[in-house]
Amino acid sequence: MNKAIIHVPRRFVSHEWGGTETVITEISRQQQRAGFQPKIVTSMALADCRTEAVHGIPVQRHSYCYPFLGLSPADKAALDKKGGNLLSLPLFAGLMKEPGVRLFHAHSLKRLGGSVATAARLRKKPFVVSLHGGVFDVPKAELGTMTKPIEGKFEWGRLFGALFRSRRILDEADMVICVGRSELDAAKKKLAHDRIAYLPNGVDTEKFTQGDGAAFRARHGIPADAFVVMNISRIDSQKNQLLLVEAFAQVRQTNSRARLVLIGPETQPEYGARVREAIAALGLQGAVLILPGLRNDDPELLDAYHACDTFVLPSMHEPFGIVVLEAWSAGKPVIASRIGGLKHLITDERTGLFFDVESDAASGHLARQLRRLSGDASLRQALSRNGRQEAVSHYDWQRIHAMQEELYKQAEEHLERRLSSTCRKQTPPVPATPKLPA
Output the CA–CA distances (angstroms, integers) from residue 194 to 89, 136, 218, in the order listed. 31, 16, 53
Q: What is the pLDDT of residues 376-397, one digit of tens each?
A: 999 999 999 999 999 999 999 9
Residue 38's pLDDT band (boundaries 50, 70, 90)?
very high
pTM, rounded to two decimals: 0.88
The arrangement of strands across the sheet holding 334-337 comes to: 288-291, 258-263, 227-232, 310-313, 334-337, 353-355
Domain locations along the chain: 4-202+395-410, 207-390
Contact of 119 with 95, CB cutoff 8 Å: yes
Model pLDDT for residues 318-349, shown as the tens digit of each residue? 989 999 999 999 999 999 999 989 999 999 99
4-202+395-410 and 207-390 share one CATH topology?
yes
- The answer to whether 358 touches 339, Cβ cutoff 8 Å, is yes
CATH topology of domain 207-390: Rossmann fold (3.40.50)
Radius of gyration of the chain (CA): 24
Most confident of 122-126, 132-136, 139-143: 122-126
Per-residue pLDDT band at 435 (split at 50, 70, 90): low
Measured over all CA atoms, what is the biggest interatomic distance in the chain, rounded to whole angstroms?
Answer: 110
Nearest alpha carbon to residue 130 among 318, 376, 407, 342: 407
Question: At residue 438, does pLDDT exceed 50?
Answer: no
139 phi and psi angles, rounded to 5 deg: -60, 150
Alpha-helical (H) ranges within 290-430 are: 299-307, 322-329, 342-345, 362-375, 377-394, 397-426
- For residue 398, the model assigns a pLDDT of 93
Q: Is 386 exposed, middle or buried (0-12, 13-18, 19+ CB in 10 A)?
A: middle
Classify burial at 421, counting beta carbons within 10 Å of its beta carbon; exposed 0-12, middle 13-18, buried 19 or more: exposed
What average pLDDT does the segment 21-33 reach? 95
Q: Report pLDDT for 436.
A: 46
Phi, psi of 360 (to 5 degrees): -65, -25
Tell me: the pLDDT tens digits for 158-190? 999 999 999 999 999 999 999 988 889 999 999
- The mean pLDDT of 7-22, rounded to a whole number, is 91
Instruction: Determine the pLDDT at residue 114.
Output: 97
* Sequence-separated (6 or more) residues with CB below 8 Å from residue 230: 260, 261, 262, 263, 304, 305, 307, 308, 310, 311, 312
Residue length of the chain: 438
Task: Work out whether the CA dihedral 264, 267, 271, 277 comes out positive or negative.
Answer: positive
Calpha distance 169→118 (Å, rounded): 9
Give residue 171's region: left, alpha or beta (phi > 0; psi -120 to 50): alpha
Residues 326 and 208 sit within 8 Å (Cβ to Cβ): yes
Please give the pLDDT value at position 437: 47
Q: How many CB atoms lie within 10 A of CB 135?
A: 18
User: Which parts of 67-193 are beta strand (E)?
Assistant: 101-106, 127-131, 175-178
Q: Residue 270 and residue 273: Cα distance in Å, rounded?
A: 5
- Indicate the CATH number for domain 4-202+395-410: 3.40.50.2000
